[in-house]
Structures are given as structure tokens and as C-alpha cells.
Amino acid sequence: MTRRCGFTRDESGQTLVIFAALASGLIGMIGLAFDAGLLYASHRAAQDAADAAAIAAAIVIRQEGDASDVVAAARDDAARNGYANVTVEYPPLGGPHALDTLYVRVTIDATARAAILPGSRDFTVSALATIATSDPPPAIWASGGQKKKDIALEAEHGSAISVSGSDIVIASTNRDAAKVDHDSVVSVAPPNEILIAGGVTGTGFQPEPRRLGKTPPDPFAGFPKPTVDGVPVRDCCGSVLQAGVYPDGITKLPQGVVTMRPGIYVLKGKGLDVAEHTTLVGNGVFVYLTDKDYPNAAKADHKRQCGDVTIKGEIHLTAPTSGAYQGMTIYEDPRCKNTDVQIDKATVDVTGSIYLPTAALVVRDTAVSLTSAVVVQSIKVDGNATVSIRLDPVRAAPPRGDARLAG
């Protein structure tokens, strides 16, 4: 028999081709994964930079910076992280927080280059930051003076301070930060409290004050300063007042009823004076107390003097219900110093927060009724005076919290 030899093929070349094809695909997949990682890292770095820039801008809002300061803070922070193509919206132009001055949006346009795939990838990231908080403001927030003997809150000679709806916060660390004599009382309706950083004198506190571990910040620092560009300059004063700039404040009002039309009133230099037999009324009113050089800074901050406030007649004012100054009736420029506020044998009915961070507020023989918060350096009630605050969170100005990212 003849044995037939089988034909044996050499398949090594075909295997090499298959391996090369598989290797090329594997390398491509590895390249795609590597480039995807680079793109993700670039995107993440840009997002972190946008977040940091937005927080930096929000901190400046909290510190009462102007709009230009807010924008500059965001741009500078982004530049330090290597990003130059930055857009800052203060306030945001769109979205659920459009035109809300408690918010700022930062957008960064960036480019990422791949290591293996050709070309570059453009992308955009943005971040929204805010100083808004859902917590109600304290009904009274008193910082106390600079001297060791300065008292932040005092009630004497049969006077009373009564609060409901929020806390009393005494931020002073002085030994006698709060003082109540034997026939006066300072009370807060439960569940709210009297919170104090320093010491107390007297037994007329209801409930007993609780010591603070950490002093809460000023709840209203950070409101935008009103512009005076193009705002009418007004003379004072007739029986009807229009919104605008009052270079000599609002003083020497006529007797009888004086009506403030809705709007923003910038009082420069001489403050507000409501004498006996005068009744000042107004709805939707925001009063800004500042010095005669506003908005310029001709003097160092420690020498800037705003006009004082004296109330011996009647005032009945309500705050704006929308806009940047929603819920705020009177706001003192924080750069001013040592403002005196005297309310003596008067009638005060204000629905809106009162912000006088450098003022010594003295209330004598007067009934003061408020539905919103009071921020002062110090408050003293004397001579059978009563200060009643029934804080309504709906009417109160939105407080400012710590800077944070917003969803």
C-alpha cells in the first residue's frame, strides 16, 4: 500500500495578523481610556477652580464689597488656578436665582488636549455660590462697643424688651455685656433663647442667658450698597418726600403727617430727625444712612461720620417687599462710626429690619413695635420704655450666612 502524506498549512502568518489587529484595538481602547481620564481630570480641575472662584466672590459679598470687588475676587482666584477665560455674573442673569444679590455665578471656558487622539476638546463649567441661609435672623443682634466697660444690652428704670419668633444674640465678650436692673425685664418666648458671648448682670432675664461657644456673625452684613448714579438729588423737606439722594439728610420736617413715597432714600451727612408733632409714614421704603462723601471715601473709615437718628414724634414705615432691599427699612453704611440713635417719648411702628451696626440705640419712655430684626452696637431701654419684637420671617430681611456653593 502506498501511504498518502497529508498537506500541513503554516498558520503562523495568519496568527500574527490577528494578533496585530487585536493589539491595535487594545492600544486604541487604552488610548481612549487614557484620554478620557485626562479629559475628566481637566474638567474636574476646571470645576474645582470655578467652585473656588465662586466661593471667593461670595465671601466678598459677605464682607460688603461692591459689585466690582465681587467680580475681581472671582477673576483673581481663577487666575491663580491658571484660568483666564472667566465670566462672572453678579447677580446671576438667569436661572431660579436671577438678579438675586445673595448669589454669584462663575463660568470658566477651558480647553483640554488629548495625549493620543488628535485635536483638543473645548468645554465649559460653572459654579453658583451664595451667602443665603434658611435660618431666621435674630430679633436683636448687639455687637457691643470696643471698650471693656461697654454694655451691649441694658434695661433699667422699669423698662422691658420682649421678643418672640427668634433669639436675642449678644455678641460682646465683655464681662458686663448685658445688664438688667431689679425692676426691668428682658424676655424671649420659648423655644427661642437669650444667647450671649460675655457676662451678665442682674436677674431680669427670662430665660437665663445661655453662653455661646461661637459667636454668630452679623446677620445682615453684605447688603449691596445703593447706587447714586442718575438718582435724583432732593431738597428737604415738604409734606411729601420722593425717593432719591438727600445731601443734608431728612431733617426739619414740617409738623403734621409727612409721607415718604416708595423707593430708596440715601441720606448723606445729617441723618434722620422726626421731631415732636410730626408723623412720618411710608410704605415700601428703604433708608440708607451714610456720610456726605458717599459713595467716595474722602475720609478714612474710622473717621467717617453718618448722621444721627432722632425720633421724638411718630414713624410708621414698611420695607420693600421685593428686590435687593426686601424686608429692610433702615440700613446704616457699615463704614460709618459712632452713630447715635435716640428714640424719646415717640411712637415707632416699623415692619422691616433695622441695621445700625455702629450705633448706640437709646429708647426712653417710648413704645417701639417691630416685626423684624434689629442689629446695633448697643441697645439701652430706659424710663419705662418697651421694645416689642414679634419677628415675622416672611417680613424680615433675608439674613446672610457663610459663603457656600448653591445647588
pLDDT in tens, the chain (407 residues): 555 555 455 555 566 556 555 555 565 565 566 567 778 888 899 999 999 999 999 999 888 788 899 999 999 999 999 999 999 999 999 999 998 888 999 999 999 876 666 667 888 999 999 998 878 899 999 999 777 778 999 999 999 999 999 999 999 988 889 999 999 999 999 999 999 999 999 999 999 999 987 777 889 988 888 999 999 999 988 999 999 999 999 998 999 999 999 999 999 988 999 999 999 999 999 999 999 889 886 555 555 678 899 999 999 999 999 888 999 999 999 888 778 899 999 999 998 999 999 899 999 999 898 988 999 999 999 999 999 999 988 888 888 888 999 97
Closest CA to 218 of 377, 55, 379, 388: 377
Question: Where in the chain are the domains?
Answer: 13-132, 140-400
As given in the structure block, the three cell numbers for residue 107 are: 463660568
Burial 179-192 (b: 16+ CB within 10 A, else e): bbbeebbbebeeeb
The whole-number pLDDT of residue 310 equals 94
State how far the Cα of 180 lies from the Cα of 201, in Å rounded to an integer. 6
DSSP labels for 247-291? TT-B-SPPSEEEEEPSEEEEEESS-EEE-TTEEEEESSEEEEEE-
State how far the Cα of 214 lies from the Cα of 160, in Å rounded to an integer. 27
State how far Cα 184 lies from the chain centre.
Answer: 34
pLDDT tens for residues 256-267? 999 999 999 999
The structure's pTM equals 0.81
pLDDT tens for residues 94-113? 999 998 888 999 999 999 87
- Whether the CB-CB separation of 307 and 287 falls below 8 Å is answered with no
State how far the Cα of 316 lies from the Cα of 308, in Å rounded to an integer. 19
DSSP labels for 355-407? EEEEEEEEEES-EEEESS-EEEEEEEEESS-EEEEE--TTTSPPPEEEEEE--
DSSP state of 233: B
